[in-house]
Amino acid sequence: MKDLKTLTPLTKILKEIQHINSAIALMGWDQETYMPLGAGQARAEQMSFLKGLVHEKQVGKEMSETLAQFVDLETGGLSGDANDWDEPASACLREVWRDYHHATCLPSDFVRKLGLETSLSHQVWIEARKKSDFSLFASNLKRIVALKKEEAEYLGYGDSPYDALMDRFEPGMTIAQVAPLFDALKAKLVPLVEKIQLSSVVPRKEIFQTYFAEKAQIEFGEKVLQAMGYDFSIGRQDLSAHPFTTSFHPTDVRITTRVDEKDLLSSLFSSIHEGGHGLYDQGLSVAHFGTPLGDSISLGIHESQSRMWENSVGRSKPFWKHFYPILQKTFPEQFEALGVEDFYSAINTVGPSLIRVESDEVTYNLHIMLRFEIERAIIEDDFPVEQLPVLWNDKMEAYLGVRPENDAEGVLQDVHWSGGAFGYFPTYTLGNLYAAQFFNQAKKEIPNLLEQISKGSLLPLKSWLNEKIHRWGRQYSSQAMVARVCGEAPDPAYFINYLEEKFGEIYSLT
């Protein structure tokens, strides 16, 4: 039986590439946290040079010759008898070839053109959003769409070019799989939002818009992170303009948060969200560092971890049964007189809004549906880019009952398209679906999970995730991972049930 040891010459190269990637990631972290303002230009040059080094190694002679010892470089098929390989080794080769194929199948002229176009478009998008005028951005976007369609052809696909793009973020996921999931979800979400709108219950979310000292907010957040099992001896939390998680190695995983002293929820839930990402990265295998077996599966699975901790745990009743008294002690003036029930409703306020990143657990997914449908229309059906604002606004009205008054609060709000990231948005909602399904399974397998959570004991869940998901790296695809953990395919019913039950109770729906 050939196993991972057989692959030593290959994993050596992979680890070397990962060392450079870790340096790039540190440079990225530093850029967002501590780098002096005036160092931007130099840092960009340094990062770009190192990224070039990584690419050279990914497609270079050493890599292709070494990989060719084990797989057919054209097809990815294992050389010799496929049955000779054990599962970890064959999974590793499958994923290494996947990365190799992606790194080599795009002509370098094309990569350069796309890089130039997206970097220009990003600047134009910033300007257009500032002026709230989509027409300034339309011709850039048109060129990017054309390039992304070209990219899909290089990458190859079965049914739809959109599959090729989505595959970069959620390997193996196709329209044929996603569309039914999303349709089922939308069919339930639109009426749910309508019912919530009609409810006479109005959670008191204004209680979060008073003053909360920065230091106390951070300390409370770190208490929660510690309870989650986020290990500060191999991690940190710093401040940045936009919260993110980055990892240089499973023993060096860093998250960031931002603190608004006039808004308690912003920092708290980003800490929990990024903490969920951080637990995944801290839970990856040290032994397999640098190889696909030491890497995370997909954006969707990564997002399932952050969403589960943020929503299934962090916005749940059991969680606040334990943590609300602590929060009350931290901010006595603000919360002394407020009961935990009111607090719980307030952190779960649902209401249609124009901006995705400010939206709640329920409406968030309708923002994603809209983007997914628009991306399909552009990529599959040649929908004219100039008419996007109207399409956007019509869909907002249909799904959420609100209509943007200008492009800045509509079609221009997200950075993704200016960077060419078509196929990225669906992973947000996939994350929610996976999260609900995983959490449902966790409740079945971990004795008294909710009761444990209500005592502040979050480690059983963390350990379960370590064991069931994190430690496997990319050995299984996201779909295979869901099937392994839950014994069935991804199913939107779990997320729908979760939302209907939770918000049915909060908003007294019948």
- The stretch among 34-42, 183-191, 366-374, 471-479 that binds a copy of itself (CB under 8 A) is 34-42
d(C-alpha 311, C-alpha 361), whole Å: 8
Report in angstroms how near the CB of residue 244 gets to a copy of itself at its nearest: 16
The footprint of a copy of itself on this chain (CB under 8 A) covers a number of residues equal to 35
Single residue of 2, 26, 373, 504 touching a copy of itself by CB under 8 A: 26
Report in angstroms how near the CB of residue 60 gets to a copy of itself at its nearest: 13
Based on the shown chain and the rule CB under 8 A, indicate whether residue 20 belongs to the binding site for a copy of itself: yes
- The stretch among 21-29, 148-156, 208-216, 475-483 that binds a copy of itself (CB under 8 A) is 21-29
d(C-alpha 351, C-alpha 400), whole Å: 9
Residue closer to a copy of itself, measured from CB, 208 or 248: 248
Q: Mask 240-269, x = binds a copy of itself (CB under 8 A)? A: --------xx-xx-----------------
Report in angstroms how near the CB of residue 57 gets to a copy of itself at its nearest: 10
Based on the shown chain and the rule CB under 8 A, indicate whether residue 234 belongs to the binding site for a copy of itself: yes
**Chain position carrying tokens 């190192």:** 50
Single residue of 6, 23, 73, 132 touching a copy of itself by CB under 8 A: 23
User: Residue 296 to residues 81, 284, 419: CA-CA distances in angstroms?
Assistant: 28, 7, 22
User: In the β-sheet with 245-249, what is the strand arrangement from edge to edge?
Assistant: 235-239, 252-257, 245-249
* DSSP-derived 3-state class of residue 23: helix
**Chain position carrying tokens 């996921």:** 173
Residue closer to a copy of itself, measured from CB, 53 or 73: 53
Query: Nearest to residue 350, comparing CAs of 504, 120, 172, 168?
Result: 504
Residue closer to a copy of itself, measured from CB, 248 or 498: 248
d(C-alpha 306, C-alpha 273), whole Å: 4
206: how many CB neighbours lie within 10 A of its CB?
9
Q: Mask 40-59, x = binds a copy of itself (CB under 8 A)? A: -xxx-xx--xx--x------
Active site residue 274: yes
Report in angstroms how near the CB of residue 4 gets to a copy of itself at its nearest: 19
User: Could you say which of 170, 274, 361, 375 is catalytic?
Assistant: 274
In the chain, the N- to C-terminal Cα span, in Å, equals 59
Residue closer to a copy of itself, measured from CB, 8 or 200: 8
* DSSP-derived 3-state class of residue 239: strand
Q: Which long-range contacts (CB under 8 A, 24 or more apart) does 334-341 make?
A: 334/207, 334/210, 334/211, 334/212, 334/264, 335/207, 338/204, 338/207
**Which stretches of the chain bind a copy of itself, using CB under 8 A?**
16, 19-20, 22-24, 26-27, 30, 34-39, 41-43, 45-46, 49-50, 53, 231-236, 238, 248-249, 251-252, 289
Q: Which residues are catalytic?
A: 274
